[in-house]
Amino acid sequence: MWKDIVSAVAPILGSAIGGPVGGLAARALSQAVLGKPDASEKELATAIEGASPETLLKLKQADQDFKLRMEELDIDLERIHQQDRSSAREREARTGDSWTPRVLASVVLAGFMGTVFMVLAGFVDGLMDPMAASLIGTLIGYVSAKADQVVSYYFGSSAGSKAKDAAMAGMAGGTRK
C-alpha cells in the first residue's frame, strides 16, 4: 500500500524502489519523510500511509531531488528498467518456456476483470463500510497494477511506445516527439 502511494506521488522514487538503485531510493524516502536516512520498511510504511499534505509535498520534492541525483550520477532509470524487461524476454526465448508466462498473464488479467466485474455488478457486500471499501479499493489497485504489468510486458509501456514513435518519426524525417 505505501509503495502505491509513493508511486503515485513520487513516480521516479516509486519505480526505483524495487530496482538496482533501491537502496538509494529508500534512503531518499527515509530522509524526506522521517528526517533520517536509515528507517526500516515498517517505519516508512507507517509514515507514508498516514502522511499529511506537508509530508506528501516533501515526498514530491524528494522525487525531484532523486531525479537530479540520478542525472548527476549518469544513471538512466528507464534504460535499467528496459534492460530488466529485455532480460526477462530473453530468458523466455532461451528456455522455450512460452506457456508459463502466458498462463500467468491470463490468470492475472482474468483475475483483474473478475474482480472489477464482481465489484461493479454488486456481488461484494459492505461497500458502504469505510474499512471494507478501503480494502476493496486496495485490492483493485493491486490487481490493476499487475494487469498493467502484463500488458506492458506483452505490448510495451507508454515510455517504450514514445521512444518507438520518436525513432520511427526520425527515420521518416518527421518531427514527432
Q: What's the pLDDT tens digit per position in 83-134?
A: 666 777 777 778 877 788 889 889 999 999 998 898 888 887 777 788 878 7
Q: Indicate whether 63 and 102 sit together in one domain.
A: no
Q: Indicate whether 58 and 8 sit together in one domain.
A: yes
User: Do the domain assignments include residue 150?
Assistant: yes
Q: Is-contact 48 6, C-beta < 8 A?
A: yes
Q: Indicate whether 108 and 55 sit together in one domain.
A: no
Q: Indicate whether 68 and 127 sit together in one domain.
A: no
Q: Indicate whether 13 and 65 sit together in one domain.
A: yes
Domain of 34? Answer: 2-72
Spans in the chain with pLDDT lower than 70 = 20, 77-78, 80-81, 83-85, 156-177
User: Do the domain assignments include residue 80?
Assistant: no
Q: Is-contact 88 153, C-beta < 8 A?
A: yes
Q: Indicate whether 6 and 66 sit together in one domain.
A: yes
Report the pLDDT value the prediction gives residue 107, as an integer from 0 to 100: 92
Rounded distance between C-alpha atoms, residue 115 and residue 93, angstroms: 31
* Total tally of structural domains belonging to the chain: 2
Report the pLDDT value the prediction gives residue 69, as an integer from 0 to 100: 82
User: Do the domain assignments include residue 141?
Assistant: yes
For 70-115, the DSSP string reads: HHHTT--HHHHHHHHHHHHHHHHHHHT--HHHHHHHHHHHHHHHHH
Question: In the listed set 10, 37, 72, which residue is the last one of a domain according to the structure?
Answer: 72
Rounded distance between C-alpha atoms, residue 137 and residue 114, angstroms: 14
Report the pLDDT value the prediction gives residue 175, as an integer from 0 to 100: 47
Q: Indicate whether 107 and 158 sit together in one domain.
A: yes
User: Do the domain assignments include residue 78?
Assistant: no
Grid coordinates given for 53:
499534505
User: Do the domain assignments include residue 19?
Assistant: yes
For the chain, the DSSP string reads: -HHHHHHHH-HHHHHHTTSTTHHHHHHHHHHHHHSSTT--HHHHHHHHHT--HHHHHHHHHHHHHHHHHHHHTT--HHHHHHHHHHHHHHHHHHHT--HHHHHHHHHHHHHHHHHHHHHHTT-S--TTSHHHHHHHHHHHHHHHHHHHHHHHHHH--HHHHHHHHHHHHHHHT----
Q: Indicate whether 11 and 47 sit together in one domain.
A: yes
Q: Indicate whether 64 and 107 sit together in one domain.
A: no
Report the pLDDT value the prediction gives residue 176, as an integer from 0 to 100: 44
Q: Indicate whether 114 and 154 sit together in one domain.
A: yes
